[in-house]
Chain A
Amino acid sequence: MLLQLNNIFKWVNSGGQRIFLLKDINLEVEQGEFISVMGPSGSGKSTLLNVIGMLDSFDEGEYNFLDESVHSLKEKHRANLYKQYIGFVFQSYHLLDELTVKENLEMPLIYKKVKGSERKAMVADMLDRFNIVGKKDLFPAQLSGGQQQLVGVARALIANPKLILADEPTGNLNSKQGEEIMELFKQLNEEGVTIIQVTHSEKNAEYGSRIINLLDGRMV
């Protein structure tokens, strides 16, 4: 088992009232699964993804990731954990504007303190695999949306994560580009990477092996 959420609650206090963002979430994810999270806008999909990605905290419940209990970990260990095992893909790509494609790919490796020569090899490998060798010296602004997302996925993958979290990865893309990314995800999943994606599209959800529906922070 990759991760397990038990009775997760998350809330914010607003005007003396407790507003629940997540309510009693119970979820088990096995290695190699491809899960699609669906639900109306504001239902808590991104919040759930952020909790799974350890970017956000929760107020109640237990979260175990690879036999580590995340809820009792210190901030620093948690950061090490997600640095090592999780890659993120965003709807609006979030590439670093002032860095080239190559440098963007390199960034997570630098933060993981991978040595220079090794880094170069891994970046070259990734460029090759995604067929973007020709674009390696371009800046994000010089790429199309689809190409940018391709780089985004490549960047999420470069550190060999066990889990990829993608929040509406095709939200800003046209259907053709979206399909390409989905095909890519499917292929990655077949190679053994676990994927959790948030999507509004039934069609994209079909790529997954399991669909989770959220409504007002509750799994339905």
Chain B
Amino acid sequence: MLKNYLKIALRNLINNKVFTLTNIVGLTSALAVSLLLVMTALFELSYDQFHAKKDSVYQVYLSSQTPRGLESGTSQPVPLAPALKADVPGIKHAVRTLSDDVLAIYKEKEINLDAEFSDPAFFNIFTFPAVKGNAENPLSDKNNVAISEEGAQKLFGSTDNVIGKSISLQLGKQEQLFTISTILEDPPPNNSMDFDIVIPFENHPEYISNMDRWDSQFHLVYVELEEGITPEQFEKNTRDFTSLHYKGSIENAIRDGAVANADGLYKQFHLLSIADMHFTSFASGMAEVKRTFPYMILGIAFVIIFIVCANFINMNIALSERRLKEIGMRKTLGAVKKQLFFQFWMESLLVFMVSTILGLVLGNLLLEPFKTLFNTRATLDYVTQPKILLIFGLSIFCVTLIAGGYPALLMSRLGTLRALKGKLDFGKNRLRNSLIVLQFTIAILLISGTLVLHGQIEFMRNKDLGYNKEQVISIPLNGKKDSYRVVELLRDELKGNIDILNISGADNNLGLGRDGSSMNSMMGFDYQGRGVVTNALTVDYDYAKTLDLEVVAGRTFSRDFAADSLSLVINETMAKQLGEEDPLSIRIPMDDGATTYSVIGVVKDFNFQDISKQVNPLTLFMNNDWDLYYAYVKIAPENIAGSFEAVEKAWSKIEPQAEFLGSFLDENLDRTFRREKTMATIVTSGSILGILLSCIGLFAISMLVVGQRTKEIGVRKVLGASISSVAILLTKDFLKLVALAFIISTPIAWYFLNEWLQNYASHVVLSPLFFVAAGLTACLIAFATVGSRTLKAASANPVKSLRDE
């Protein structure tokens, strides 16, 4: 029996070659792409889920009521973690972590390693298993460090005989000796804390000076709660603790006019599950867990699958009409509903199985290019979990049931006589049309998303950031030499080169450099009885000149003035915050009045932070006691490649051991919206595939519809219709559907894109042109798809179609 079904199914599929092939091609590509997208999404969603204690370990963040509103921060002061553990009940472990680059030296080798400074309990609360050495307590001693396999490979060239070896680490200005106690498995790719080496926290150069300071916050704190303790209890338990330790800043907040929260508090500790931390943003002041990105990818995968399934269902229904006579015949021969249903289902199942296999093959072939293109470290392991496979199998089962079963149902309900007559009118056009409308709604949504995303990226790329991003190279100072000395040496080395215009340095980068690190440095002080918060940047001479910053008042730091280490240059926003008519008159006492700084100049606002943010207050310091971390070199617009080479050469002369990581600021800027670019690539390819698949469906449907209407076309032509009028008549029906899709999709697209653009302090204007362009594109593509078919049908000689049988 089954064999019989299979035989007939195969024969039918071969008879309708075009449609079978169309379906298989569509399904295969959709399945392959969806497979990759689902893989990416599941990979994203799996971030930090591997920690065995993910349900009891939390990141601590403090939300503060400020005059500017609610603000939250994860940066904590050094004494917090020990104090929490000692004073607050219900805490099993409290751990500090701080990511930093550290120069590791072993024999002749000097290598920058990603370091995690932390406490011994790090290994109690996080799941980073050891491969060799002390697995229980890798940080048992202040001079013990744990290194990852990759880190060991990099430093020693091998993971054998590494335990017990001594290495030097450059911490601050001096080198310190450490012993390797443990080799760790490499942290998995779906991990928020990427590190090569874990170093006891006390060794951080900032540790000693900040040991008892509650107002200097620069690292993260994680806690593991004792069993039965909830985050709510923790929040309650820390209230008195908070009022005690943050007394001063709470009083300042009250003085400056902050409004207490619903509980009457000004500061409150909260916990954020480590399972959520990868997806958290503090943009609105509170921690917001948003898994938008992976869900969007899942959504696109789903939508693509939907489009091909709709094609499949549509074609099957349209095709089944051709088979009405066959069905009627079978019924007169005594076929029952169940058998008819099986027959249709078998055909669908066959098509799906073939496509699934081909899709898997194609997906595997595309895996590597996909990973590079979308910049993901996901692997197929994330998809081949039993749970996912089960869901996939079930969904295929359901889709084939609908795709094959629906027409079968229609037909089997149809009276034998009506079937023999070959007429089917079950409102199937309504289903078909709704599916086409839905497909094109999705396609237009994706196209407008693509256009707006690219628009925003272009907008960000071309935005005037207030500094020169085309002509300036920034170089991470990752060598051993003193940073001021390196900048000075660079100046000397490149002095003769007329293409090198200016050289300066600062303690922070602009954009994201090739070293991959970014940081924020904030400070607060009282001015005229008010609390003031500003970003702080330490710079070297010529900073403004090198970056083409515009000085709007006063001057910048200059070698002609001896006392510039007590001078400040501020940006316009900072000047506004300080609120003085003449900003150059501002004197700011700091360190409890021990020193007084004076503002000597104001620079025009420039985007020194992420471009999605608005420009915040900024204060430039010039103090040789504070290290620089980046050098900036401005080059002439001519001979850019040559100048870059010259800079690189100078660098390798000055710091032969350290890798040259210099890059132009516009590249750095591009790196900061890598996420947007990935998103744009995904949405773009999704929309291209979506529209392509929709068109395949539309093409097949138009073929069938035109086929059904050849007789009508002939009659019309004999009655005097011109080719164009017939072509328009046929095309109109399809374009109407696309127009309807446009009307439906535009408000939806507008709403979501507008929401998304709100994430950016300055963004591209959401002009109607985006939507018109998307709609026109869809219309044009649909027209091109259908038009060729209809035109051909319209120009055919009517004699053929009208021949009386």
Chain A residues within CB distance 8 Å of chain B: 46, 50, 55-56, 79, 82-83, 88, 90-92, 94-97, 107-108, 111-112, 155, 159, 167-168, 171
Contacts and interface: CB of A to CB of B under 8 A. Distances in A.
A168 B803 CA distance: 12
B254 interface: no
Contacts of B720: 79, 82-83, 108, 111-112, 159
Contact of B712 (A79, A82, A96): A96
A167 B805 CA distance: 12
A110 to B, nearest CB: 9
Nearest to B719: A108
B797 A107 contact: no
A167 B718 contact: no
Given A55-B718, A112-B720, 5 more contacts: A50-B799, A88-B718, A90-B802, A92-B804, A92-B805
Contacts of B587: none
Interface of B: 711-712, 714-716, 718-722, 725, 797-799, 802-805
Contacts of B803: 46
Contacts of A96: 712, 715-716
Given A50-B799, A55-B798, A55-B799, A107 B716 contact: yes
A96 B713 CA distance: 9
Contacts of A167: 804
Residue with the greatest number of chain A CB neighbours at <10 A, chosen from B716, B725, B802, B805: B802
Q: Which A-B residue pairs are the 5 nearest by beta carbons?
A: A111-B720, A83-B720, A108-B719, A91-B804, A94-B715
Contacts of A108: 719-720
14 contacts: A46-B803, A55-B718, A56-B797, A79-B720, A79-B722, A82-B720, A92-B804, A94-B718, A94-B802, A107-B716, A107-B719, A111-B716, A111-B719, A155-B719
A161 to B, nearest CB: 11
A56 B799 contact: yes
B127 to A, nearest CB: 68
B804 A90 contact: yes
Contact of A94 (B714, B721, B722, B799): B714
B721 to A, nearest CB: 5
A17 B805 CA distance: 26
A168 B804 CA distance: 10
B705 to A, nearest CB: 13
Contacts of B716: 96, 107, 111
A108 B715 CA distance: 10
Contacts of A168: 804
Nearest to A82: B720
Contacts of A155: 719
A137 B46 CA distance: 65
A191 B532 CA distance: 105
A55 B798 CA distance: 7
Contact of B804 (A56, A95, A159, A171): A171
Contacts of B725: 111
B453 to A, nearest CB: 44
Contacts of B718: 55, 88, 94
B719 A97 contact: no
A94 B797 contact: no
